[in-house]
Amino acid sequence: DGGITQSPKYLFRKEGQNVTLSCEQNLNHDAMYWYRQDPGQGLRLIYYSQIVNDFQKGDIAEGYSVSREKKESFPLTVTSAQKNPTAFYLCASSIDHGGTEAFFGQGTRLTVV
């Protein structure tokens, strides 16, 4: 079955540690996105990638980094520079950038203690 997979579903890390969230898709989509979701707020865009080996900062990129070495994969690293990293992180993909439908993964809930 085609889809977009995030792992792990829950992640706990100590303050000051970097952590990498995985996102894989087998939909052959060119575009991939990372969003952060906090209670009472909409989704905020962290980074997006329109094509392999290219990515752009979204609205809240500070403290995060990404790579897009393969079409299928768009991992997100939450660095120690991110001041408030505890959140629900959602990865999405679309057939191309600005495509009609974005497909979302099930999310990763990151808790930093």
Binding residues vs other proteins (CB under 8 A): 4, 6, 33, 35, 40-43, 45, 48, 56, 58, 90, 92, 97-98, 100-107, 109
Q: What are the structure tokens assigned to 22, written together? A: 């995985």
How many angstroms separate the CA atoms of 93 and 103, rounded?
5
From the list 38, 30, 43, 40, the residue with the least C-alpha distance to 93 is 30
Of 79 and 103, which has the nearer Cβ to other proteins? 103
How many angstroms separate the CA atoms of 15 and 60, rounded?
19
Instruction: Provide the minimum distance between the beta carbon of 52 and other proteins in the complex, in angstroms, as a whole number.
Output: 18
From the list 54, 59, 61, 60, the residue with the least C-alpha distance to 31 is 54
Of 50 and 80, which has the nearer Cβ to other proteins? 50
Alpha-carbon torsion (37, 43, 46, 50), positive or negative: positive
Of 75 and 80, which has the nearer Cβ to other proteins? 75
Instruction: Provide the minimum distance between the beta carbon of 23 and other proteins in the complex, in angstroms, as a whole number.
Output: 11
Instruction: Provide the minimum distance between the beta carbon of 20 and other proteins in the complex, in angstroms, as a whole number.
Output: 19
Instruction: Provide the minimum distance between the beta carbon of 73 and other proteins in the complex, in angstroms, as a whole number.
Output: 17
Of 80 and 86, which has the nearer Cβ to other proteins? 86
